[in-house]
Structure 1
Amino acid sequence: MRRLDQLLSALGYCSRKEAMAFVKDGRVKLGGVVVKRSDQRVDAAQITVDDLPLEAPDGLLAILHKPVGYSCTHSVDEGPNIYELLPAHWPDRNPVVTSVGRLDKDTSGLLLVSDIGSLVHRYTSPKSDIEKTYLVEVDKALDPALKEVFAKGDLMLRSEDKPCLPARLEIVSDLTARLTITEGRYHQVRRMFASQGWHVEKLHRERFGPYELGDLPEGEWRMLEPMRG
């Protein structure tokens, strides 16, 4: 049970002070009955605002189809960012909604966003071994020998002191491959191909752990059910 004004503020609906106006205007109901006091302790599952249930009161997880050209930052100084594609009140939630890991500006595809700290940590920890699958387009015909190079687990990247973990490569066409890795090093996929003489022209993430992008349109998002534990 939480105070109503604290709950609405934490979920990004309004400030605690503004919650008084929400209540005064009859916008908030508890079990279908209009709430009279903003400091009342309530069960989030029984609250509606404008006759709609509260959005993800126990924590939010969503999938975003990130377009090329958008950064994974809250800063407005770096041009377009992913939060411009999400509901305007999400950055007002407490804890704040953030990306689960990052995709650079030139990479498109599946990005998770959440305000569940334990989930973000679990999916971004170096010990997580979360599989991530990318569709990669390169500048010249691929050599089937790359499959073994990436799978062996002894590929060293420039300025690194540990080899990359084994990765799974599927050659789709002359210029296109699908690469699955379990790490998240800086520009890892691009650097892996560059180390063998290939330049990545396009990079698109299709899968992150148990989540797949599917047919979600570019620039769109959808809510997910968080996998707890």
Structure 2
Amino acid sequence: MKLVKLIANLGYGSRKQVASMFREGRITDATGEVLYADDRVDHAAIRIDGEPLDPPAGLALMVHKPVGYTCSTKDSGRVVYDLLPPRFRLRAPLLSTVGRLDRDTSGMLLMTDDGQLLHRIVSPRARLPKVYEATLASDLRGGEAATFASGTLLLESENSPLAPAAMEVLGPRQARITLTEGRYHQVRRMFAAVGNHVEALHRPRVGGLSLGDLPAGQWRVLDADDLSTLFDV
């Protein structure tokens, strides 16, 4: 792929704008030597204004989504793309969220421009566990874990029961839920079905991958070892 197209696809600008960057000498190799549009250079050796080029297509990210952000490109409020470099929103192929967390849910959000990886993660066949920690409005009654694990719980307006889900009590009004499916607002609707209300919801883990000490609002690139850990469950 020609360097102009490569850099434009990474969101640094239109092809015309990138061509102008070449003319201005802003694109160099790792030693600082100016590059030209028809040069052949390894991706890792390219610099723009002295900074390494963003990762190529096949990018996967972990984002620690705070409360108040939506998984959308069009919402009038704050969106998860606001947490990333602006050019990430302009990448081609598109950098998409892997599933969604609603505005009032914090925690791990995965993003990728790799369609095959996205499908592998969200496919029902993968059955990747998703772990949520819920803070509730009322004390737990004691029978919730059995109800969630039964595989018979039917949510309002649903035609099929939920797959069994595991629940661990963390406190009188706190619980950890592990799901292997992803229905709309599932955890909130599960607790509503047993007469409770979720006041706060956080997702610390997907598959074998944990947020760890990644601060809220921050992100990091996932490497091959991270992706192996994700599916190692």
Contact map agreement 1:144 1:171 (CA 8 A) in 2: no
Q: Give 1:151 deviation, angstroms.
A: 1.3
Give yes or no for contact 2:26–2:34 (8 Å, CA) kept in 1. yes
Is 1:3–1:42's contact at 8 Å kept on the other side of the alignment?
no
In 2, the alpha carbon distance for the partners of 1:56 and 1:19 equals 17
CA distance in structure 2 between the aligned counterparts of 1:59 and 1:20, rounded to whole angstroms: 24
The residue type equivalent to 2:68 in the other structure is G
Is 1:97 matched with 2:100? Answer: no
Q: Which residue is 1:64 aligned to? A: 63
Contact 1:64 1:219 in 2 (8 A): yes
Q: Which runs of 5+ in 2 are unaligned?
A: none
CA–CA separation in structure 2 for the residues paired with 1:51 and 1:219 = 26
Preserved contact between residue 57 and residue 113 of structure 2 (Cα < 8 Å): no
The separation in 1 between residues aligned to 2:153 and 2:205, in whole angstroms, is 23
1:69-88 equivalence runs, <5 A:
69-77=68-76, 79-88=77-86
User: How many residues get paired?
Assistant: 226
> Residue 107 in 1 paired to residue 105 in 2?
yes
1:83-108 deviation digits (Å, cap 9, x = unpaired): 11111110111011121110111111
Are residues 1:23 and 2:22 paired? yes
> After the TM superposition, which of the residue ranges 166-175 and 59-68 deviates more from structure 2?
59-68
Alignment RMSD: 1.9
Give the counterpart of 1:117 among 112, 115, 118. 115
Q: Distance in 2 between matches of 1:7 and 1:130?
A: 33
User: Quick one: distance in 1 between partners of 2:30 and 2:172?
Assistant: 60
Which position in structure 2 is the counterpart of 1:126? 124
1:170 aligns with 168
Change (3 A) 1:41 1:15: farther
Aligned mates of 1:176, 1:121 — CA distance in 2: 32
Percent identical among aligned pairs is 46
Match of 1:202 in 2: 200
- How far the C-alpha of 1:29 sits from its partner, in A, is 2.8
Matched with 2:140 is: 142
Amino acid paired to 1:11:
L
Query: What is the TM-score normalised by the length of structure 2?
Result: 0.89
- Equivalents in 1 of 2:57, 2:63: separation in Å? 20
Q: Using structure 1 for the length normalisation, give the TM-score.
A: 0.91
Q: What is the DSSP-based 3-state SS (H/G/I as helix, E as strand, rest coil) of the residue aligned with 1:19?
A: helix
Letter in structure 2 aligned against 1:162:
S
Deviation of 1:186 (Å): 0.5
Q: Distance in 2 between matches of 1:156 and 1:122?
A: 27
Per the TM alignment, residue 41 of structure 1 is displaced from its structure 2 partner at its CA by 4.7
Deviates more, 1:172-181 or 1:143-152: 143-152
One-letter amino acid of the structure 1 residue matched with residue 11 of structure 2: G
- Structure 1 unpaired stretches of 5+: none
Looking at structure 1, the residues matched to 143 and 150 of structure 2 have their Cα atoms a distance apart, in angstroms, of: 11
Alpha-carbon distance in 2 for matches of 1:220, 1:52:
20
SS where residue 172 of structure 1 aligns? strand
